[in-house]
Structure 1
């Protein structure tokens, strides 16, 4: 199948699309990435989206407008990917949508909301769309995250040593391979770094370009110690979190009346991300950490993380043939492929669900849905050139 995977993460900055050719044979998925593109949200839409996120109040009219506008933006990106990489013909779109709320209370996930109405994608492209992946795992008792765990498990099956796949987006998540099954959100990835930059620049800047501010700044050990007291870090996997917790208001409350330079704040929360990831992974005695996501573009963060991982080697997913900025969109393309063939897309042992289940909802395209079921779930995933 020719599948377009669509993803916009918790940094809320752009929509990523991957065009993937996926073939199933002998319980192995062969995935060829035909192309990838990323389109930033229009500034007005990103501003409205950020304004609607917790802890800000919002009315249902705003939710409806955002669901429509984000759906239209996803549809435009999907259509562009189909035309550019598949000559205008494809079989399926798998759309993660845009997370606006992940409802976690007392260490249990009760619900989740991703906006980006899939009907706009189906109407624009004429293709069936799989969307709303997380809700089914949550209904089965899971956390709904990290759903990339099954992809990681298939992709890294047979990888030598003890390794973990780490994705650093707004929130950082990890899947440990070759160990007792575990996957979880470690805590903030870029979320508090972005919040610190926006706070210190009055919103004129949204992220620490090339890690320059963190490199200029000095880590404040006292502030870092306070940040590390957050109870989330002490929770046992499986667990998940989001910007409902780690947001600008959270950072402001911790900063209180401290007088610090902007660069020192950014340096300190960058160290927090590195520390919490390294601490979360230390117990697994890893030999390799394979990292992807937007955080890989921050050399200061990568240097801090590499220094804290001890003997584990830090390498980019690019070295294994998977572009670091395309990983999550590729993963959801694979999950969409599994859904349309009636196969489970969650690893219940890693999300905490009571069972493996088929994920998502299907919006029909212009043609009749007619995809035969695969005889058995895959055990391996191979990336091909």
Structure 2
């Protein structure tokens, strides 16, 4: 019999660095509030799977078969993370109410009425013996929303405090902001690229998966002319609700701008990309929540010391801290959000915020695959 209050969340994001999983307990399961993370686990993607997931973001031959095989591979990594969580916490599968599995986004086209997160939830049920909740985004899109970001509701539940104007920034492949006014009103949207461009540029010029701690970028010189042209892209000025991904911000997007600025040193381009992330976030924060005194940063980018330094420089007077200061380490936040969304789904509670996504109203999110 499943023990009330235990949930697993699994997240593999746009940065393609692997899978983060958490085992958490909800203090009040009926209301899906009061979380405590009991265990965290991370598994990197095998190189072949990572390359295939990246390739599936663009049109290619035999996509249907390749996507299904990648989904099977992803389920294997998910199952390994679940096993790590259970063993680390000394918990059995029978004690867990459900797994919330985000899947891997390979296309995000709310403008066309769809989003695709590939995974194999039925296979995950068979591998793990637990109920799985998946496909969180499509119901919001069906209701006229963007389907993203979905984490602002969780950020409000976990980090929000009455009377405080607070901003929460997730730095994954894409940077997204959750903005909570002192009266509780919440806005959220994708600001623009974060790790997605920083990583692809580092892979091309360093031969490394990413620029560790932003050390390479920190020694470069921001190129003002390039930065101005990047920030002039229409996405940055478009009003929320808005969301984006690798469909829009990818290497060809960057190369289109670099063609007008030939001869730049690769390290200076990296520094400019880091500054692009900081400046786009700072502009959106000043535009939409100028009263914010704190910016809580989560996601893998919170460990990028260079980007964090740039954020502090771009936001004088705003306290910029990683989410550990609010009780939840950066790498655990998104996985915890999808465990929480799974609990919301099983309780029949809405998981979206229409003020964030633009959906016609609150909706229960997720497809449930019973154990």
Structure 1 match to 2:73: 69
| Correspondence 1:229 to 2:229 | no
Given the alignment, which residue of 39, 45, 50 partners 1:46? Answer: 50
Aligned counterpart, 2:212: 209
Runs of 4+ in 1 over 4 A off after TM superposition: 25-28, 55-58
Match among 325, 328, 332 for residue 326 of structure 1? 332
Which of these residues, 97, 104, 126, is aligned with residue 91 of structure 1? Answer: 97
Question: Gapped runs of 5+ residues in structure 1?
Answer: 366-385
SS in structure 1 at match of 2:7: strand
Contact preservation (8 Å) 1:79, 1:124: no
TM-aligned CA deviation for residue 159 of structure 1: 4.9
Q: Which residue of 2 aligns with 1:382?
A: none
TM (norm. structure 1) is 0.90
For the 8 Å contact 1:104–1:241, the answer to whether it is kept is no
- 2:366 is aligned with 1:363: no
Residue 190 of structure 2 corresponds to 185
From the superposition, tell whether residues 312 and 160 of structure 1 become closer, same or farther in structure 2 (CA, over 3 Å): farther
1:293-351 deviation line (CA, Å, top 9, x unaligned): 11111111100011101221111110111111100000111000010111111111211
Q: CA deviation at 1:160?
A: 4.7
The match for 2:20 is 16
In structure 2, stretches of 5+ residues that fail to align are none
Q: Cα–Cα, structure 1 residues 319 and 160, in superposed 2: closer, same or farther, change >3 Å?
A: farther
Partner of 1:29: 33
Give CA deviations for 1:211-261 in whole Å, capped at 9, x if unaligned.
Answer: 111111110111111111110011111110111111111111211161122
RMSD, aligned CA: 1.6
Partner of 2:118: 115
Give yes or no for contact 1:161–1:288 (8 Å, CA) kept in 2: no
Where do residues 1-385 of structure 1 align in structure 2 (5 Å cutoff)? 1-24=5-28, 27=31, 29-54=33-58, 59-89=63-93, 90-105=96-111, 110-178=113-181, 180-201=185-206, 204-256=207-259, 258-283=262-287, 284-285=289-290, 286-365=292-371
For residues 286 and 312 of structure 2, the distance between their equivalents in structure 1, rounded to whole angstroms, comes to 13
Q: Name 1:369's counterpart in structure 2.
A: none
Stretch moving more, 155-164 or 341-350: 155-164
> What's the CA shift for 1:67?
1.5
Structure 1 residue 63: deviation in Å?
1.3
The whole-number CA distance in structure 2 between the counterparts of 1:157 and 1:46 is 35
Report the TM-score when normalising by structure 2.
Answer: 0.93
Aligned-residue offset at 1:79? 2.5
